[in-house]
Amino acid sequence: MGGCLSASTPRTCSVGDLPDDVIARILSLCGRRSGMALTLVCRRWRRAFFCEPALWRQVAIVPAEGLGPQQQAERSATQAAVLARVGAAVHELCLVVTPALAAALAHSSGGSGSSRQGGSGGSDGSHKGGGDSGGSCWACLQALCPEALAELRLTTCLPSPSDVQQLADSLDLARFSRLQLLEMHIRLAPMPASLAAALGQLPRLQRLTVHSFSHALPPGALPAACPALRRLARLELRCQSLPPTEAFTALDRLQRLHLADSDPAAAAAAVGASTRGDAGQQPLPDCLPNLAAFPPSLRHLTISRQLAVAGASFHTFSYRARPPWVTLSFGGLRCADGAGGGAQLTHLLAALLPPRAALYCLELSEPDLVAAGPAGGCQLGALRVLRVLGLRRRTPLAALDAWLRSLLSQALALDTLVLSRCLNSDGVPQGLPPALVERAGIARLALLHNSLASLQPGPWLAALRELCIAGNDLESLPAALAGAPCLERLLAGRRGRLDEPPLTLTWREADQVLLRMPSLRQLELYGTVVPPRIRQHLRAAAPQLQVCLHGAQWGLPDGWSGGLSEPAPPDGGLVPAVP
């Protein structure tokens, strides 16, 4: 009887009977922190933990804040030992190198201290990492598999060029031919020539970011690598002495390009010289080629450096494409020779725009009206959005009106206009430029941070649907707004200075202005108080009207550009005919 019961009893199965791959899978579900603690059970579990590829696809070696020198040394030695053991499975590596981290790894590479620090992960990983140390504190990088590593983010804060060179030699970037993403932030020392030359041996690279904050790149290194980077889609370069912009036209699949000069002295000289109008003090500008020279895949281009095109110069440029529509932005636009007449803007657009592109949005930040005045040309015919964010000099109203009139005479399709810090005249009350008052067809208008004291009635109100008049010298809602039959959204309020008391909405404004706009649906007030009785009156007389108060003691948000709901360019299609 006992034997029969024993024979029918099922055999129990323990965890030790599971295959190694199943144990590794279970440990991977526990995560690295819990799985590291489970490696203390036995050597088999420790071996399975470090051999599971799913656990080590992403590895980060970064210094921890708040640790003492000894604790940082132990942590760094553990990280290096683990990387030396699991490097073949790493697909994404983030490495932040500081002098403390380099010193800790140099100290741990010489002895067996790393094999005794950091718990089971460091002890087990040091068996393989200790043999590869060989006198180089970055020998753990040699364990990385060239066929597996796809993304590398490297940040170094080492001040010594020899230390950065040693790091580059240990990494041997050229062997990672399957690398798809590469980010390099070299903060203090210059980039080694070998590291820059290796970029030309990464044919599968799709995203590249190079920041050399305080130095220039090795001469000609990046332009020489461009022909080999056939798959590169995104490039971000920030350094001193940028390569010529034309060198990046050889990238066939480029979609996003960002270039920035990190030399603060050169940037300050460029902005200061353009502000003073002193061409002799500017650094040598780079000639921006026609946008048709770039590959058709380019959708976003941003350049922060002194540029010169068609007799005009500017220190920032942005290009965004949604074919056939194009958005252009210029910062500090001015005439290079100081006397270009009124044809500079149209000549500039003709030199930059591709043949079949249609300018949808144009943004001018602190332009010079001499350089921006258009005279003839068809580049502005399809323009829908115009933003003028400040003028370099205080301009009389008559000069601004003449410039605006010449521009509006060509931009017949314009329906969105933003004028910020353009109507300022040392405390003198200002009204709208006559060219704007006489223009009909604008649906969205933002007049921000100006010296407007009144608004004149006129054709400009006929098709207006959104209006922002916040940040001006208006003491009350202008009575002319009652003549805006299509106005759906109104934004108004104070500038937000501490010495200004908040505005108060009156019964006259409610009855004679707000309630006489039949289409008004949304009212947003900044730095304005609405008494409860007036608010109840508005709610009863206009149930569709939503009143939003953004605070009575503060004004406009920093960097606010009007809050207009600017429409996005339509998807493809033909450019509409200009009326």
> Beta-carbon neighbour count of residue 258 at 10 Å?
16
**pLDDT score of 269 more than 60:** no
Q: Is the pLDDT of residue 278 over 70?
A: no
DSSP letter at 430 equals: B
Residue 119: pLDDT above 50?
no
pLDDT attached to residue 105: 63
pLDDT score recorded for residue 543 = 93
Tally of CA atoms within 13 A in the half-sphere of 492 that contains its CB: 26
Q: What is residue 104's predicted lDDT score, i.e. its pLDDT?
A: 61
**What whole-number distance in Å separates Cα of residue 196 and Cα of residue 219?**
10
Q: Are 344 and 371 in contact (CB under 8 A)?
A: yes
> What number is the average pLDDT over the span 549-570?
62
**Least confident among 83-97, 133-147, 308-322:** 133-147
Cβ-based neighbours of 36, under 8 Å, separated by 6 or more: 49, 119, 120, 121
- Residue 537's pLDDT band, with cuts at 50, 70 and 90, is very high
**Confidence check: pLDDT of 117 > 70:** no
Quote the pLDDT of residue 48.
72
Tokens standing for residue 52 = 């599971």
Peptide bond into 396 cis (omega under 30): no
Under 8 Å between Cβ of 411 and 383: yes
Q: Which two tokens stand for residue 495?
A: 């500038």
pLDDT band, residue 123 (cuts 50/70/90): very low
Is a pLDDT exceeding 90 seen at residue 209?
Answer: yes
pLDDT in tens, 430-455: 789 999 999 999 999 999 888 888 89
SS3 content of the chain, % helix, strand, coil (to 5): 35, 20, 45
Q: What pLDDT is recorded for position 551?
A: 64
Whether 175 and 152 have beta carbons less than 8 Å apart is answered as: no
pLDDT of residue 284: 65
122, 181 contact by CB (below 8 A) = no
Higher pLDDT, 104 or 521: 521
pLDDT score at 576:
44
Structure-model confidence comparison of residues 80 and 538, the more confident one: 538
Closest C-alpha to 46, from 114, 117, 111, 122: 122
Which amino acid is residue 357, in one-letter code? A
Instruction: Please tell me the predicted confidence (pLDDT) of residue 114.
Output: 38
Which pLDDT does position 14 carry in this prediction?
67
Q: How many residues does the chain have?
A: 579
* Cα four-point dihedral sign 38, 40, 42, 45: positive
C-beta of residue 360 within 8 angstroms of C-beta of residue 569:
yes
Kindly report, residue by residue over 38-71, the tens digit of the pLDDT: 666 777 777 777 767 777 888 888 877 777 777 8
Angle (nearest 5°) at CA 228 between 222 and 232: 80
Between CA 502 and CA 527 the distance in angstroms is 5
Provide mean pLDDT across the span 28-32: 68
pLDDT class of 17 with cuts at 50, 70, 90: low
Coil, strand or helix: which one is 96?
strand
Least confident of 131-140, 155-164, 207-216, 561-570: 131-140
Q: What is the pLDDT of residues 175-186, one digit of tens each?
A: 999 999 999 999
Confidence of residue 11 (pLDDT cuts 50, 70, 90): low
The count of C-alpha atoms lying within 13 angstroms of the C-alpha of 256, restricted to the half-sphere facing its C-beta, is: 9
Q: Is the pLDDT of residue 286 over 90?
A: no
Give the mean pLDDT of 453-463.
92
Q: Cα–Cα distance between 138 and 171 in angstroms, integer?
A: 8
Q: What is the pTM of this model?
A: 0.81
Dihedral of CA atoms 53, 55, 61, 66 in degrees, nearest 10, equals: -170
Share of the chain above pLDDT 70, in %: 74
Average pLDDT over the chain reads 79
Q: Report the percent of the chain where pLDDT is more than 90.
A: 34
CA dist 317 to 182, 276, 420, Å?
25, 20, 19
Tokens of 46: 């420790």
For the chain, the straight-line distance linking the first and the last C-alpha, in angstroms and rounded, comes to 104
Query: What average pLDDT does the segment 3-19 reach?
Result: 60
* CA trace torsion 508, 511, 513, 517 (10° rounding): 180
Phi, psi values for residue 444, rounded to 5°: -135, 125
Q: Tokens 């503060």, residue?
A: 554
pLDDT of residue 121: 37
Which range among 5-9, 11-15, 330-334, 546-550 shows the weakest confidence by mean pLDDT? Answer: 5-9
Could you tell me the pLDDT band of residue 527, with boundaries at 50, 70 and 90? confident
Predicted confidence at residue 13, as pLDDT, reads: 67
Secondary structure tally for the chain: helices H, strands E = 16, 22
Instruction: Flag whether pLDDT at 544 surpasses 90.
Output: yes
Query: Rounded CA gap, 368 and 258, in Å?
Result: 25
Which residues, 6 or more positions from 219, have their beta carbon under 8 angstroms from its beta carbon?
A: none
pLDDT (0 to 100) of residue 495: 61
Q: How far apart are CA 348 and CA 325, in angstroms?
A: 17
- Of 213, 294, 212, the C-alpha closest to 256 is 294
**Other Cβ atoms within 10 Å of 5 Cβ, number:** 8
Going from the C-alpha of 411 to that of each of 157, 383, 434, 463, the distances in angstroms are 51, 6, 16, 16
CA pair distance 489, 495, nearest whole angstrom: 19
Give the CA distances from residue 500 to residues 506, 511, 526, in Å, rounded to whole numbers and listed in that order: 18, 26, 13
pLDDT of residue 425: 59
Please, are residues 422 and 391 in contact by the beta-carbon 8 Å criterion? yes
Average pLDDT for 403-430? 82
Q: Which of 153-167, 196-210, 509-523, 543-557 has the lowest mean pLDDT?
A: 543-557
The SS3 assignment for 507 reads: helix
Residue 503's pLDDT is what?
84
> Per-residue pLDDT for 573 more than 70?
no
